[in-house]
Chains A and B, each alone.
Chain A
Amino acid sequence: MRGVSGEPVLVCEGLVKRFGDRTVVDGVGFEIAEGETYGLLGPNGAGKTTTISMVCGILAPEGGVVRVAGKPLTTGTVEAKAAIGLVPQDIALYPDLSARENLAFFGRLQGMGKERLKRRIAEVLEVVGLTERADDHVDGYSGGMKRRANIAAGLLHEPELLILDEPTVGVDPQSRNAILESIEVLGGHGLSVLYTTHYMEEAERLCDRVGIIDEGRLVAEGTRSELLRRIDEHTRVRVEASGDLGAFAAACSQLDLVESATPAEGLVELLVDDGSRVLAPMVETADRLGVHVGSIDVAEPDLEAVFLHLTGKALRD
């Protein structure tokens, strides 16, 4: 994990948003430091998009404050918004304009000068791999290309904080990987990123810290390790083997870090505290007992398990 230092680029405190009688966001607060990638992980309808709409000054909160780069941000402020680059969940581009024309329009709205705009358009098109198709209309792009152009528009004015709202929804695996790689590169260059997703694996791959949001509340927050420590989950090791599996399971259960070992049809399942440290003594035990090991599968506990533990439901519910 990257080190994080400096003053927070984003500070949210006690954000509240209601639509009618329904409280969609209820006291959400978090900070993002310079160069940090922060993930807001939650299922659809958890309040992620509403939260970032308040962070961007698109929606006015009923309660709470937002500060971006040290400046207060409301729907009426202009200065603080310049520090934000938004990549909305929808493809927020004009389909009848080319990527270059879209970028030129949104860049002008950011107050970018002609020369800088021209240079930055070329740079961001290169970053998202659309240089060759820059002058084609967006409506002729594939879903993945549209997503990449959408990201380019958020990066154009070199914001201090890039906000991405589920940028990989509906894209093919190849484009998804390209998008995630781009974000990793940006994070590596010191850009602060707020990333919302309901894909646990994206949050684990990209984010330095993760906030778990459900029904408008931030139920937990921390690094992946910190979150995993909050739940009493073990690494599962499945050993497909042949031989005296009962004796093998009994021997494994005596090893350090092994909580339990259960024989089943053609396999033994172990619950361990540290999968990497238990593998070597386990294989030695198998050799000693003449058990032939076919394959070993190690399943570490993940954020999905954390979410399940904290909310009682799965991320994709």
Chain B
Amino acid sequence: MHGALVIARNDLRRRVRDRSFVIQGLLAPILFAAIIGLAFGGGFDFKATIGVADADGSEASRGVVDALVNDAGGGPLTFVRVEPTAVDSKLGDGAIDAAIVFPAGFGQAVSTTQPVDLEVLFDANKRVTADVARAVADGISARFNAGRLAVATALFTGDQPPDEAAVQRLVQEARSVELPITVTLGEVQGRYSPVAYFAPSMAMLFLFFTLGAGARSLITERSDGTLSRMRAAPISDSSILLGKTGGVLVLGLASLLVVWAVTTFVFRASWGDPIAVMAVILATVFATAGISVLITGVARTDAQADGLVSMVAFALALLGGNFLSPGSLPPLFEKLSLFTPNGWALRSFTRIGSANAGVVDVLPAIGVLVGIGLITGTLGLAGLRKKVVS
């Protein structure tokens, strides 16, 4: 045990002194999280400006356009009136994010059995806004269809055949029924800061590099001869392995804790319940250390280990959603992310940060992370032991 502590301490001192840990483990994740956080502004808010163009000019289309444009509810959507001929240019210069166009003949169609089709135009780079605009258009169509259905129902169920005046009155009343079209983005327990999400996200990515470098040092020490000198000392091979992996774990833990502290106290980002956060940090470091040790265990050379660490780190980060905002992974990737420690860790951090989850709520994820660490770490240590004794 004494030998393991001496080795771990020596590794820690060397990594801190050569600044690789400070750069990879501390500065890089904080910097990346801050940059991505700035890109998202103060929070994961959705805001969009949707242009509304009336190419019909009928009473029905004017009514809906006026209702949308005059709505000053302060919600995430802003509707602005746009001339039909200016829609393309407004989309092009970014003045609007999407447009709903009431086509000529709209007013006529709503009084008959013809389909009511609204045209939705959007910026291809703003898919979310396009989906929202399409939903609004669908809502308007549904509203008019509901009105037409109401009139048809009244006519069908009446005892006497209705006269023309009664039909017109029914149509007018059906049109005047307010079917509110609103888009609401609910906030859960206040705003979830992008920095609070991307800090662990980026810290996890760089954790692989930090821990990978630590684990790789065993290969380096073997080729440099210092491992032979250690093995000639009166300490066991297990002490050497324990010291090397212990140093790796401490570095990883220090990295995530410092990122947590800096983003919490400097950037005012709320990660959520500190106890739950610490538990997930520990489990995440354990899982990542296990994978790093496994990579080092199977790699033949320092350079090979370096390449493998980079490849695995980025693959797991991409699959796990480290580069995307929460909940924005495509469905297939949502499932694939469950095969990565990144996916489980980020889900846990998001739940703790945005939904006030506690340790108990994230226990299953912690269990999965510890399991990943145990399996990969055990396999990796077997490989490392071979490297040490050969």
Contacts and interface: CB of A to CB of B under 8 A. Distances in A.
Contacts of A78: 234-236
B140 interface: no
Nearest to A76: B236
Chain B contact patch, size range: 20 to 34
Given A60-B389, A75-B237, A108 B228 contact: no
B385 to A, nearest CB: 11
A94 B14 contact: yes
Majority DSSP secondary structure for residues of A touching B = loop
Contacts of B6: 105, 108-109
Nearest to A88: B225
Contact of B234 (A58, A79, A89, A92): A79
Interface string A70-97: 0000011011011010101111111011
Interface residues of A, number: 29
A253 B237 CA distance: 66
Nearest to B6: A108
A56 interface: yes
Contact of B233 (A81, A88, A90): A81
A265 B3 CA distance: 69
A129 B74 CA distance: 80
A88 B17 CA distance: 26
Given A81-B232, A81-B234, A92 B225 contact: yes
Contact of A109 (B3, B225, B228, B389): B3
A57 interface: yes
A111 interface: yes
B370 to A, nearest CB: 30
Contacts of B58: none
Nearest to A19: B390
A223 interface: no
B237 A92 contact: no
B351 interface: no
Q: Which interface residue of B224, B231, B234 has the most chain A CB atoms within 10 A?
A: B234
A153 interface: yes
Contacts of A106: 229, 233
Nearest to A85: B232
Contacts of B237: 75-76
Interface in B189-235: 224-226, 228-235
Contacts of B2: 111
A139 B228 CA distance: 19
A109 B233 contact: yes
B234 A110 contact: yes
B18 interface: yes
A75 B234 CA distance: 10
A23 interface: no
B10 interface: yes
Contact of A58 (B7, B10, B224, B232): B232
A175 interface: no
Contact of A94 (B226, B228, B231, B233): B226
Contacts of A111: 2, 234
A75 B14 CA distance: 27
Nearest to B229: A92
Given A108-B6, A109-B6, A92 B231 contact: no
Interface in B347-390: 389
A84 B233 CA distance: 8
B375 to A, nearest CB: 27
Given A60-B389, A78-B234, A109-B233, A88 B228 contact: yes
B105 to A, nearest CB: 79
Contact of A92 (B17, B226, B235): B226
B186 to A, nearest CB: 54
Interface in B1-41: 2-3, 6-7, 10, 14, 17-18
B232 A96 contact: no
A138 to B, nearest CB: 11
Nearest to B5: A108
B218 to A, nearest CB: 14
List the 8 closest pairs (A to B, CB-CB), nearest first: A90-B225, A92-B225, A109-B233, A86-B232, A82-B234, A92-B229, A56-B232, A81-B234
Interface of B: 2-3, 6-7, 10, 14, 17-18, 224-226, 228-237, 389
Given A81-B233, A81-B234, A92-B225, 13 more contacts: A57-B231, A57-B232, A75-B237, A78-B235, A82-B234, A86-B229, A88-B225, A88-B228, A94-B226, A96-B14, A109-B7, A111-B234, A153-B229
